[in-house]
Homo-oligomer: A and B are copies of this chain.
Amino acid sequence: MRHHGTTMLAAALALACAGLCTAMPARATDAPDATALRETANTLFGAIPHSVDEVRGQEITAAQVELGKSLWFEPRLSRSHVLSCNSCHNIATGGADNVPTSIGHGWQKGPRNSPTVLNAVLNVAQFWDGRAADLKEQAKGPVQASVEMNNTPGRVEATLRSMPAYVEAFARAFPGEDQPVSFENMARALEAFETTLVTPDSRFDRFLAGKGSLDATELRGLSLFIDKGCVACHSGPNFGGQAYYPFGVVERPGADVLPSGDKGRFAVTQTASDEYVFRAAPLRNVALTAPYFHSGQVWDLGQAVAIMGSAQLGHELDATEVQSITRFLQTLTGRQPQVANPVLPPSTSTTPRPE
């Protein structure tokens, strides 16, 4: 399924304006009506789930999550035995590595900023260009990419089959299968673990649920986020991640922020209208994951807000507006996952060696 940016944009803007009538203060410095704004926000975003119980209609089992957690921290999924999923999607630092673009095999730099794994299960598709339909498909990418983990499915399977503890863990996670240890099931287990990485209980969520408040600046920021049209792309419980839009729909930013060599979703669809089209970044925990944009070239969240205003909405936001929206975005930092480091099984004589 592919959403065309401008249609979505118009529909969402209409929705946003409909919600605004009751919430906007008479003057810019007045605090918006919190009750009306809560109601609008519940319509536009909705609560983040506390857990995700199924993927593609199938129940996630504890055995799959446990295996997936080991695989998440498993450096032997990489050819070098040095890089794990957590290297670039570090759960300790907002689910990302927080460098402009990730460092992979041989210290090669990847082409785009590493998106956070936190709440990624809520996105319509994975990667900045949506080229993977779900987290299972996504998981297969970096393991094989030559600039990332630089491994092969066969080598991964040989690695996992060489360790009895993994053979047992795969059998528990995928019972009844002839060959539970497979690259496909590695990806399924990783997806199962990743579904646990949701971050509920942000200050915004408590506000949404009527269990907490936002201060006047934060309320103004939320109101502006809706009024100015940010919500057109960044809606739903993950504040984005649902559809694709051109970066620079009104005014294309400079090549430092939008490098001309990366045409985004065009590489997936080969459709001219998808040039410089990217999936709208989900904004949950955005305060934890600088630097911003697919290029990772903007370190300041306020600056990113200002760029979005001019590039996507044609608004030159003033300093107070930028600050209010930024303060509001900081309320989207949720309870970070508590993850116990796994103890991984030792290699054996048949484990492929690092290269």
Q: Give A contacts to B, CB under 8 Å.
A: 73, 75, 80-82, 87, 90-94, 97-100, 103, 106-107, 287-288, 290, 299-300, 336, 338-344, 346-347, 349, 353-354
**CB-CB nearest in chain B for A94:** B346
A-B contact pairs, 6 of them (CB 8 A): A75-B90, A98-B347, A99-B354, A100-B354, A287-B346, A338-B343
Q: For the complex, give the distance between the alpha carbons of A344 and B93 in Å.
A: 6
Determine the residue in chain B with the shortest Cβ distance to A90: B75
Q: Which residues of B contact A92 (CB under 8 A)?
A: 73, 341-344
A288 — which chain B residues lie within 8 A by C-beta? 346
B343-A336 in contact (CB<8A): yes
Per assembly, the copies of the chain total 2
A340–B342 CB distance below 8 A: no
- Smallest beta-carbon distance A106→chain B, Å: 5
Q: Does B81 contact A97, Cβ atoms closer than 8 Å?
A: yes
Q: How far is the CA of A339 from the CA of B339 in the complex (A)?
A: 9
Shortest Cβ distance from residue A102 to the other chain B in the assembled complex, whole angstroms: 8
Give A339's nearest chain B residue, CB to CB: B341
Please, which residue of chain B has its CB at the minimum distance from the CB of A285?
A: B346
Interface contact A99-B73, CB-CB below 8 Å: no
Q: Which of A94, A97, A344 has the most CB of B within 10 A?
A: A344
Residue of B nearest to A333 (CB): B346
Given contacts A288-B346, A339-B340, contact A82 B94 (CB under 8 A): no
Residues in chain B near residue A103, CB distance under 8 A: 80, 82
Minimal Cβ-Cβ distance residue in B for A340: B340
The minimal Cβ–Cβ distance linking A292 to chain B, given in whole angstroms, is 12
- Measured CB to CB, the closest approach of chain B to A114, in angstroms, equals 11
- Check B347 against A300 for contact (C-beta < 8 Å): no
Assuming A338-B340, A346-B288, A347-B290, is B106 touching A353 (CB within 8 A)? no
Q: Is the CB of B82 within 8 A of A299?
A: no
Which residues of chain B have C-beta atoms less than 8 A from A338's C-beta?
Answer: 340-341, 343
